[in-house]
Amino acid sequence: MIVAIDGPSGTGKSSTSKAVAAQLGLSYLDTGAQYRAITWWMVHNGIDLTDPGAIADAAGKPGIVSGTDPLAPTITVDGADVSGPIRTTEVTSKVSAVSAVPEVRTRITELQRWIAESAEKGIVVEGRDIGTTVLPDADLKIFLTASPEARAARRSGELKGADVKATQEALIKRDAADSSRKTSPLAKADDAVEVDTTELTLQQVIECVVTLVEEKR
């Protein structure tokens, strides 16, 4: 059972995907964490992120390993745990420039396919292009949406009181960059089920997705 969950930031993708995987005994993969990890490594190593050629040259260098336990997902770069550092505002503001580079996407996509194929119990994979590009044959594809206001309010809650307006502007800018890039942009697959989470609680979204998975099992 392969479940692809895509959508923009602040739609509850991560919380939903982890909870659904844990509830159904499936593995879990956060593909955004992988793009954040490669971005963190590039910042840490002084790669010029205004130069796509420099990003492409460095794309194969860091060793990225994702742990797929939904109750304790991990991400390491060259053996170091980067779960904290990949969530900084600096990495968040730079990740779209790195993830738009085709050499980065090719490398990370190969890794994602290998992880999904190796998941014996099945897996929930969350991201932006999972249903369209990474796993087009997934058993179930879900596309989560929510109004920009709801998404910004949730994100600033997670960031413990960050300014909602500034968060909304940053979020809209990142989604615009992710949706307009040439290689595998953020998009709903034609056969994905769209779930608008604006008026739903997290628990309701989880129940909705669990029901959709069970119908496919």
Binding-site positions for ATP: 7-15
* Using rule CB under 6 A, residue 144 touches ligand C5P: no
* Using rule CB under 6 A, residue 62 touches ligand C5P: no
The residue among 46, 63, 62 whose CA lies nearest residue 54 is 46
Among 128, 141, 154, 155, binds ligand C5P (CB under 6 A): 128
Binding segment (CB under 6 A) for ligand C5P, from list 18-26, 30-38, 139-147, 152-160: 30-38
Cα separation, 195 vs 141, whole angstroms: 11
Binding segment (CB under 6 A) for ligand C5P, from list 29-37, 41-49, 136-144, 196-204: 29-37
Residues 73 to 112 in contact with ligand C5P, rule: CB under 6 A: 95-96, 99
Cα separation, 12 vs 8, whole angstroms: 9
Q: Which is nearer to ligand C5P, 31 or 68 (CB)?
A: 31
Number of residues that make up the chain:
217
Cβ-defined contacts of 81-88 (< 8 Å, 24+): 82/37, 82/40, 83/33, 85/40, 86/33, 86/36, 86/37, 86/39, 86/40, 87/36
Query: Do 31 and 130 meet the contact criterion of CB atoms below 8 Å apart?
Result: yes
Among 4, 5, 7, 9, binds ligand C5P (CB under 6 A): 9
Cα separation, 148 vs 150, whole angstroms: 6
Binding-site members are: 7-15
Query: Do 109 and 134 meet the contact criterion of CB atoms below 8 Å apart?
Result: yes
**Three-state secondary-structure class, residue 77:** strand
* Using rule CB under 6 A, residue 28 touches ligand C5P: no
Size of the site for ligand C5P (CB under 6 A): 14
* Using rule CB under 6 A, residue 132 touches ligand C5P: no
The CB-of-98 to ligand C5P minimum distance in angstroms stands at 8
Residues near ligand C5P (CB under 6 A) = 9, 31-32, 35-36, 95-96, 99, 127-130, 174, 178
